[in-house]
Amino acid sequence: KEVATAIRGAIILAKLSVIPVRRGYWGNKIGAPHTVPCKVTGSCGSVLVRLIPAPRGTSLVCAPVPKKLLQMAGIQDCWTAAKGCTATLGNF
């Protein structure tokens, strides 16, 4: 009974935490948006992550953890730079 309640609460929290991700172009506006619209910086704990727009066909140039997140967000091409203690996966 407690497990089902915990799962239900986690699902509700996950649905409330979903945020829209803007996508943009690099260069010509041909086809569907494929990258981030501008340089974006975010931080959590000691880790600072920067997303940089990339040309079409570059793919995701980043570590495995942010690569999974960017793929789920629908970003196809992006460069990333990370500073700080990235070994701490909770912050990264």
Would the pLDDT of 83 be above 90? yes
> CB–CB of 64/26 below 8 Å?
no
Q: For 36-63, how does the pLDDT look when each residue is reduced to its tens digit (9 = 90+)?
A: 999 999 998 899 999 999 999 999 999 9
If one counts the domains in the chain, the total is 1
Query: Residue 3 falls within a domain, yes or no?
Result: no
pLDDT per position as a tens digit, 68-81: 999 999 999 999 99
Weakest mean pLDDT among 7-11, 25-29, 54-58 = 25-29
27 burial via Cβ count (<10 Å: 0-12, 13-18, 19+): exposed
With a CB cutoff of 8 Å and minimum separation 6, the contacts of 91 are: 44, 45, 46, 47, 84, 85
Whole-prediction pTM value? 0.80
Domain containing residue 37 = 22-92
Task: Tell me, yes or no, whether 10 lies in a domain.
Answer: no
* CATH number of the domain that residue 73 is part of: 3.30.230.10
**Does 11 reside within a domain?**
no
Which among 72, 35, 29, 32 has a CA at the least distance from the CA of 54?
A: 35
Q: What is the pLDDT of residue 76?
A: 95
